Chain A
Amino acid sequence: MKILLQVLYMYAVAAAISFFVAFLIKALFVFIKRREQRKNMFARITEELSLPKSWFSSSSVESIIKEAESLGKEGEIFAAISFALHLYQKEMHDNENLRITINKAVKPYSPWSSKIYSTTPWRR
């Protein structure tokens, strides 16, 4: 009887761990699925509002999307409206984000710092 109980105990431990592994797999998938959903939502809104993806890095947008997720499918509409409002408000104030962006521009040739104009030509 004692042996049977011990075997049963070991079986229960094995079952608990195996199902824990299965649960781990499910949890991993739920996490990945939610991330994918969020990514898709971002992509759709960006496309509809014709915005650069870099704008989504702000924390207020993150909170809007989180709230939208909690509302389920209707949240997408809510997220789009909230996001548009957020952008509108963002454009209203004067504070700059202090990030300097230097775009590469095509420039015509300029000899202002050219070496050939700063040296005296050699004369024999």
Chain B
Amino acid sequence: MTTNDIFSLFQGISTLLSSEPIIMYTRIGLMLLGILLVYLGKKEILEPLLMIPMGIGMSAINAGILVMPNQQQGNLFLDPLVSDPTELINILQINFLQPIYTYTFSNGLIACLVFMGIGVLLDVGFLLARPYLSMFLALCAELGTFLTIPIAMAFGLNMKDSASIAMVGGADGPMVLFTSLTLSKDLFVPITVVAYLYLGLTYGGYPYLIKLLVPRKLRGINPVRKKETKKISRGEKLAFAVLSCVILCLLFPVAAPLFMSLFLGVAIRESGLKHLIDFIAGPLLYGSTFFLGLLLGTLCESHLILNPQILILLVLGIISLLLSGIGGIMGGYVMYFITGGKFNPVIGIAAVSCVPTTAKVAQKAVHEINPDALILPEAMGANISGVITTAIIAGIYITLIPLLN
């Protein structure tokens, strides 16, 4: 048996060795990165629900490249670049993940399903108890979502791509996916991957930002509440969800699927439809997250991911998240001065809408200094407002940026 025969038998190795050096090293690097993601997921340093399917998908797609009948390199997972209808019909019958990609990912359905699941888990009562305060903090925590646009344009990206990567500052994965799918079709894979990688880091990175920006003395402040907050009834929450959904859909029809999914989740939760709540918060949310992770992993194929802009996107993603965190804390400081020192500035960082991670990070940072301090009600209100403002900003970007161009 000759060497050629062995290589034709093990095509994964032959395609690796016959590729250009840069492709070969990228494939090896991505295989190792996939394994690392599984490890970090297992250790719960990154979100395991997403990272384990993503890591395995990333390693498998880069290992399983073979020579197709047309003598070109390809895989049996999916091909995101197919657009010709006849070719798509053929490939739907060959690539095993192609149906899920075509029918759920490329049209944003999976992002909406995840968002519906988030809606079912959200208790808008925290937001309804302090609407102005929560919205103010959420707007401050969107600093990165806006300031990253001019920075990205200075790096040479166009306005649409800049807005897509700036959405990472909103710290909401489905929103980044939805915006980048609409605004920058060429870069949505690296942008979404960067977003999901960084979102996992908020839990590890933001505590250091809090320690850096908020002195120990201020971190221990227990917010003074004037009176016992009114209990928000389910009817009030339902009315809010329905009205907000209708108004926001009316304002931004382009982002209407996102708004509808979020508020439908909230409405189902508040209507007390137990079977639907169990279905959406269970199989639908976990199923969507699993396939989202798997598809994101399999989209990290060396030919697709090898983009000269990936490094810029990595830098911009971290800048965006950092600026949002700083903006949130600045909002917290504004409230601290307005209330005459009765407000804990750490609450501001919870307005970065990574539900409920940032709220938990804020509470944990405060608890370390003052075990009696309870900031979770304010933090959750800001956190949920963050989700709504991020959706509003996604709607603004999708609607206004094509017009501004």
Other than the given A14-B393, A25-B127, A32-B236, 14 more pairs (CB < 8 A) read A6-B404, A11-B139, A14-B396, A17-B392, A18-B138, A19-B132, A19-B135, A21-B392, A22-B131, A22-B135, A24-B243, A24-B244, A26-B131, A29-B128
Which chain A residues lie closer than 8 Å to B146 at the CB level?
Answer: 7, 10-11
Contact (A29, B139) CB under 8 Å given A14-B389, A19-B132, A24-B244: no
Which residues in chain B, 120-143, are within 8 Å of chain A measured between CB atoms?
A: 127-128, 131-132, 134-135, 138-139, 142
Complex-state Cα separation, A21 to B395, whole angstroms = 14
Complex-state Cα separation, A27 to B135, whole angstroms = 15
Flag if A21 contacts B397 (CB, 8 Å).
Answer: no
Which chain A residues lie closer than 8 Å to B147 at the CB level?
Answer: 7
Verify if B149 is at the interface (C-beta below 8 Å from A): yes
Flag if B400 contacts A13 (CB, 8 Å).
Answer: yes
Verify if B32 is at the interface (C-beta below 8 Å from A): no
Which chain B residues lie closer than 8 Å to A18 at the CB level?
Answer: 135, 138-139, 385, 388-389, 392
Which chain A residues lie closer than 8 Å to B239 at the CB level?
Answer: 28
Verify if B153 is at the interface (C-beta below 8 Å from A): yes
Complex-state Cα separation, A4 to B239, whole angstroms = 37
Which chain A residues lie closer than 8 Å to B404 at the CB level?
Answer: 6
Flag if B135 contacts A10 (CB, 8 Å).
Answer: no
Interface residues, chain B, with chain A CB atoms under 8 Å away: 127-128, 131-132, 134-135, 138-139, 142, 146-147, 149-150, 153, 159, 236, 239-240, 243-244, 247-248, 251, 385, 388-389, 392-393, 396-397, 400, 404
Which chain A residues lie closer than 8 Å to B139 at the CB level?
Answer: 11, 14-15, 18
Flag if B150 contacts A28 (CB, 8 Å).
Answer: no
* A120 CB → nearest B CB, Å: 62
Verify if A100 is at the interface (C-beta below 8 Å from B): no
Flag if B244 contacts A10 (CB, 8 Å).
Answer: no
Flag if A28 contacts B138 (CB, 8 Å).
Answer: no
Interface residues, chain A, with chain B CB atoms under 8 Å away: 3-4, 6-7, 10-11, 13-15, 17-26, 28-29, 32
Complex-state Cα separation, A23 to B396, whole angstroms = 19
Which chain B residues lie closer than 8 Å to A26 at the CB level?
Answer: 131-132
| Smallest Cβ-Cβ distance to B251: which chain A residue | A17
**Chain A, interface SS category:** helix
| Smallest Cβ-Cβ distance to B243: which chain A residue | A24
* B356 CB → nearest A CB, Å: 20
Which chain A residues lie closer than 8 Å to B244 at the CB level?
Answer: 21, 24
**9 cross-chain CB contacts under 8 A:** A3-B159, A7-B150, A11-B139, A14-B389, A18-B139, A21-B135, A21-B247, A23-B131, A28-B243
* B304 CB → nearest A CB, Å: 29
* B266 CB → nearest A CB, Å: 13
Complex-state Cα separation, A23 to B404, whole angstroms = 28
Which chain B residues lie closer than 8 Å to A24 at the CB level?
Answer: 240, 243-244, 247
Complex-state Cα separation, A6 to B400, whole angstroms = 10
Which listed residue, A7, A11, A23, A28, touches B240 by the CB 8 Å rule? Answer: A28
Complex-state Cα separation, A98 to B244, whole angstroms = 45
Flag if B150 contacts A4 (CB, 8 Å).
Answer: yes
Which chain A residues lie closer than 8 Å to B142 at the CB level?
Answer: 11, 14
* A102 CB → nearest B CB, Å: 35
Flag if B149 contacts A3 (CB, 8 Å).
Answer: yes
Complex-state Cα separation, A24 to B251, whole angstroms = 15
Complex-state Cα separation, A4 to B151, whole angstroms = 10
Flag if B149 contacts A29 (CB, 8 Å).
Answer: no
The 7 closest A-B pairs by CB, nearest first: A22-B131, A25-B131, A22-B135, A18-B135, A3-B150, A22-B132, A11-B146
Complex-state Cα separation, A19 to B236, whole angstroms = 18
Complex-state Cα separation, A19 to B396, whole angstroms = 15
* A21 CB → nearest B CB, Å: 6
* B37 CB → nearest A CB, Å: 33
| Smallest Cβ-Cβ distance to B236: which chain A residue | A32
| Smallest Cβ-Cβ distance to B385: which chain A residue | A18
Which chain A residues lie closer than 8 Å to B247 at the CB level?
Answer: 20-21, 24
Complex-state Cα separation, A53 to B239, whole angstroms = 27
Complex-state Cα separation, A77 to B396, whole angstroms = 52
* Most B-side CB within 10 Å, residue of A7, A11, A20, A29: A7
Complex-state Cα separation, A19 to B244, whole angstroms = 12
Contact (A21, B388) CB under 8 Å given A7-B150, A11-B146, A14-B396: yes
Which chain B residues lie closer than 8 Å to A21 at the CB level?
Answer: 131, 135, 244, 247-248, 388, 392
| Smallest Cβ-Cβ distance to B252: which chain A residue | A17
Contact (A29, B392) CB under 8 Å given A3-B149, A18-B135: no
Which chain A residues lie closer than 8 Å to B393 at the CB level?
Answer: 10, 14
Complex-state Cα separation, A32 to B150, whole angstroms = 44
Flag if A3 contacts B131 (CB, 8 Å).
Answer: no
Complex-state Cα separation, A14 to B400, whole angstroms = 11
* A116 CB → nearest B CB, Å: 54
